[in-house]
Amino acid sequence: MIKTHTNPELLNDLRKLCKGVKEIVINFSTNEDNYFDYLWDHSLFGYFYDNNQNYIDYDKLKDAYDAISNEEDGIGGELWVYLSGLLNVSKIHLSAIWWQGSFRIDLENGVVILEGDNDYDIDNIRDELEYHNPQIEIEEYLNNLPGFYYDENQEKSKKFAPYGYGDNDIEPIEKFLMCNEM
């Protein structure tokens, strides 16, 4: 089921700013202190794609790229706050360890897709916690993990991952509705 976490004003502002863009892909990470930040690649934080999934070069939409990459002010700041909020309400993000993923913002349909990009299994999570956050009660943390970490062979995939799993085949894909209706 698509989770409702709407912001139709932001969606409309993005549509106006990003003419000809169907999808914005933003890569991000969080550290062991849960600090959310974009992952920058050659001075870009994300990528714009048209209806045919062709990458739209920075030079063609320089103003849109620059506006959205400004995490401090304007539409870029609003987007940063919105996406970090989605991460906080998601069921797949793990706090207290380094975690990365991507948001795919479908401007046409008003849907945001969250996909993790981690290869954590239970032993990796335990190791990360022991190394970065030894003060955390590890067994309690592991007992409170989302159920899909214990769903070997993905037998309960319809319950945990109605939209399938990310590239790592561990974390389910989550969808959020950005507009009021589809």
Domain boundaries defined on the chain: 3-119+163-177
Percent of the chain with pLDDT over 70: 92
* pTM given for the model: 0.86
Query: Residue 44 pLDDT more than 90?
Result: no
Instruction: Point out the least confidently predicted range of 28-32, 33-37, 152-156.
Output: 152-156
Record the tokens describing residue 10, joined without a space: 């932001």
Alpha-helical runs (H) found in the chain: 8-17, 62-69, 74-89, 122-132, 138-143, 157-160
Query: Residue 182 pLDDT more than 50?
Result: no
Q: Check if the beta carbon of residue 80 is closer than 8 Å to that of residue 88.
A: no
Report the pLDDT averaged over residues 140-155: 78
At 66 the pLDDT is: 92
Record the tokens describing residue 102, joined without a space: 């991507």
Q: How far is CA 126 from CA 109, 129, 138, 145, 160, in A?
A: 39, 5, 7, 11, 22
Confidence of residue 41 (pLDDT cuts 50, 70, 90): confident
